[in-house]
Chains A and B, each alone.
Chain A
Amino acid sequence: MRAKKAALLAVIAAVLGLVFSAYSTYDYAQQLDRQVHAVHCSFIPGAPVSSDADNPCKAALFSPFSAVLRATYWGGVPISLFGLGAFAFFVGYAVYLWVGDRRLSRAAYPTFVVLSLGPVLVSVVMFTISVTHLHALCKLCVGVYTASLIMATAAVVGMRLHSRETKGDSPDGAARGWPLPAFALVSLAALGASSLAPALAYVGLLPDYRPLLETCGKLATSSDPHHGLLKIRTMHPVRAVTLFEDPLCPTCKAFHERLVDENVFEKLDVTMAMFPLDSECNWMLDRALHPGACVLAKAVICGGNDRARSILEWAYDEQDTLRELGKQGTSSLTAKISQRWGHDIAACVGSKQVDTQLNQQLHFAANNHIPVSTPQMFLGNERLCDEDTDLGLKYTLAQLAPEVLHD
């Protein structure tokens, strides 16, 4: 194999990285209109968007790790933008290696090796996050990881082959271009500029989201005459919020995890109302979106102010299993609750008192005419728009409740 072939492989890998980064950027930029969009999730460039609501690419996109500067810009600056710029540079660099072949500067391949370790390093970090935090691998992301790895491997192989091929070509190193440090420095500067260019264009054109943050309604009444709502204890509550949650709602789970991961939850003074999207107890639905959610909501209420959070987080952690049990019926779910939380909680789930308390929480939602969806968060009386509970969460909190972002 010749170095030229390795360079060609690097070109192909860099082009693939560019394409995957471009798709990822496109999916992210689509969300800037604050509407719901499907995302791409395929190893095949050009494949149609995925209609699966819970695909891993969507999970990755809405995770706190997909963008930087989230508190400064609505949605933050997606890291795929940096990938887009970087891979554009790497395509050019690999073309340079391919075309230059044996006449290249001696510094060309070593510099390429060093620079190509950047995407590999980022890929390793993001892969680790995907596995340990998101528990899913997004295909577009895997595409970028693979492209980075192939490119770096091609760089190393190319360097060795090129070194062998040019052995004895020119005994005078000075005659083979710039010295390595200068060459590497210029290349690094070019890579940096290239990586930043799309991001700078992106943030320069972003709309002003500030006026949109307080346009999604208010709590008409926060009065709770029956004291039926739950008060969740947190470490340093500095801002009152009211949450409407469904234990079997995947978006609620993701939202809760986002609040915890962002270290925000512990700074909230949480009043919580269960709002299960299950027609067994919720008259606002004509069919159960999440069968079994009423039973689990009752279990959370049975936990009282002290244990409600633990039971809710358990329900989120075990959501897939509990969703299946919920389809089988109340008894399976109650048995699972009994197994984990003991007979007292299981018995409480079947009691009239908890029926009444859940009903009071649902009437609290009805009295406030909130949208029939979960999760919902009210900062004081101000409702956070749905899009501001995921991509725009940190920006919105920075604008409306900066105290919860401070250490």
Chain B
Amino acid sequence: MAGEVTKEYDQKTLWGGGRSPFSVSYGKMMMWFFLISDALTFGGLLASLGFMKHQYVDVWPISEEVFTHFPFTHAHLPLLYVAVMTFILIVSSVTMVLAVEAGHRMDRKNVTFWLFWTVIGGAIFLGSQAWEWSTFIAGPDGDISTWADNATLTQNFYGRGFTGDNPILAPVQYSQFFFFVTGFHGTHVLSGVVINLIILLGVVSGKYEKVGHYEMVEKVGLYWHFIDLVWVFVFTFYYLV
């Protein structure tokens, strides 16, 4: 990026006071502060998931054998839909960065266009997650017919574990981590979509044109990319590894 950050200042000027040594505005730095704290929460969640997996190394369910379904088909396609979801989120991250780039050119029409598709991408992701949750709850065989019976988790071993002389609770912990990690991430996606929508309304109404810059788009962009970043890690550490 051109501008402030590429300017050369000697150390005395840079750190001597009277200006921001990081060459970022207050709002952007606070967004980074928030993202670091949020990243620590997700880092803690994924680290504890790693702890569980490592502890139950022999009995922990393999995600590749759990998530084998694809909407509108009964074919056996392990992890393919999760990969599609990852792709959707990456694409919506790309449309966001294009909106930010258009904002740097003060191109209101393009900011509106790309931000709109970012919101759509986020909404598709949320719908996919709802589908994945309901498929998971419907049972390991994903039999659609069980939906009619108001399927609950207690009807399969992700809800009650393997009972018997030697009960194994790893599948229960597996599903708890599944709902907590993807649910916490999904809450972020939901709030991201809502915030993007609010900013989109601001762009359409010409609010940022009047202010003279589209930094607000860049700040919510940081949050949106962060959501994508977290999903990249969830995809690896929950589904793949």
Bound together = no
B-side residues, CB < 8 A to A, are: none
